[in-house]
Every structure is written in C-alpha cells, then in structure tokens.
C-alpha cells in the first residue's frame, strides 16, 4: 500500500490542510466547483481550528484536548478525501500542477487505451427533502452499467435561469456509480436547477452532453 498523501502527524496535518483549503478556495471558480460543495470542508476546518491549538502544548493540554483533536482530525480527513475524490481527481479543469500544489496524488496517465465515449447518459432526477437524487444510465441500455472503458459520469449544473451555453455550467462531481445525491441549503428551496451530464473514460476524455434536464429544489 502506498504512502498516504494526507499527513498523520498533527503538526504536519495542520500545515497540509491549511495549504489545501487556501489553494482550493482561491481556485473554486477556475475549476468550476460550486462554493456550496466546498462548504463542508470549510466547516470542518473551523472546528479543527478550535481544537488543534488546545492540544499543541504538552505542558498545559489535557487528555480531553488530545482526544478532541484526534477525533476531529479523523472526521475532517474523511470530508477532505470525499471532496478530493469527487471534485479534484477527475475534474478536467484541475491540472496536474494544481494537484501538486494541493498535495494530492497525480495519477499516471499510462493506461490501457479506452475509447472516447460515443453515447450519452440518460438522466432522471428524483426531488424532495431538499436534495436531488440524480440517476443516470447509458442510452440504449436496459441496465445501469456504464459504457465500456468509461470511468464515470461528469455532472454539471446551473441554478436559476436556463443556461444559454455550456460555459455557464458548474462542475458538480464525477460519479462512478448511479445515483448521485446533491443536497441543497434552505435558501435554495424553490430554485430551478439545470443539469447536463457526460461520460468520461479512464483517460479523462469526455463524450457528448446529455440533454438538458431541470428540476426544482423542494
């Protein structure tokens, strides 16, 4: 098993997460990531900043301080890993240089050639409970399987008005298995959200866009 890209030492971890959050915050727009999707990471950082300083000095910290830091490091790490897997590693707008600055793995591009996806996803959205459950399948296929050589499905969206062109869409995630659940804030209730999806193969090459699909946040 390779070395974990996230440091385990609390001091090294603190420096790493600070750099990760700063770099990501500065590039959300460039990478097409909605700020709302990054908010759980910021929330975890806020909590980390409360417990980490209390556990730094061995002369005056308590066991409770150390336990709180350990537990928060674990939960914070889980949120970061999820964000990296869904938003960074398969995001076509994030370069290898970006990944190096973030301190996350740069995967080898030497792979068995995969065909460029030639079909489009068929999209169905289930609404309710302040979330959208986005189901996708391959056109012309009865099952839920992906096309041959496809890594996952890119999900892009726009809130409010219907996009006039694809450049107005924001990247949500690359999901490797249907469905994908997107949660919204209370302030988004009643807002129309527009989606387009497309297949991406194991080399990062994308297929054609799906039809534009929309759903209200309810």
CA distances from 120 to 23, 93, 163, 197 (A): 33, 21, 19, 8
Q: Where are the alpha helices (DSSP H) in the chain?
A: 10-31, 35-51, 63-83, 96-102
Largest CA distance in the chain: 66
Q: What is the pLDDT of residues 53-101, one digit of tens each?
A: 999 988 899 999 999 999 999 999 999 999 999 999 889 899 999 999 9
Does the CA dihedral 150-121-182-46 come out positive or negative?
A: positive
Positions of the chain with pLDDT lower than 70, given as ranges: 1-2, 108-113, 142-143
pLDDT recorded at residue 142:
67
Q: What is the pTM of this model?
A: 0.55
Please report the pLDDT score of residue 1 as a whole number: 38
């Amino acid at each position: 098993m390779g070395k974990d890209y996230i440091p385990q030492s609390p001091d090294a971890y603190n420096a790493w997460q600070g750099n990760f959050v700063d770099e990501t915050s500065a590039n959300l727009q460039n990478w097409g990531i909605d700020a709302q999707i990054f908010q759980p990471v910021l929330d975890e950082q806020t909590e980390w900043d409360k417990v980490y300083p209390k556990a730094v000095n061995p002369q005056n910290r308590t066991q409770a301080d150390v336990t709180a830091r350990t537990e928060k490091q674990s939960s914070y790490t889980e949120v970061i890993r999820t964000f990296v897997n869904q938003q960074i590693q398969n995001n076509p707008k994030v370069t290898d240089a970006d990944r190096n600055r973030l301190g996350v793995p740069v995967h080898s591009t030497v792979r068995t050639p995969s065909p460029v996806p030639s079909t489009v996803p068929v999209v169905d959205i289930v609404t309710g409970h302040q979330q959208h459950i986005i189901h996708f399948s391959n056109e012309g296929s009865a099952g839920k399987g992906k096309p041959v050589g496809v890594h996952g499905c890119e999900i892009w969206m726009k809130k409010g008005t219907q996009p006039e062109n694809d450049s107005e869409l924001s990247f949500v995630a690359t999901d490797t298995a249907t469905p994908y659940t997107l949660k919204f804030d209370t302030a988004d209730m009643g807002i129309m959200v527009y989606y387009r999806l497309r297949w991406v193969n194991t080399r990062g090459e994308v297929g054609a866009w799906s039809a534009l699909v929309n759903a209200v946040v309810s």
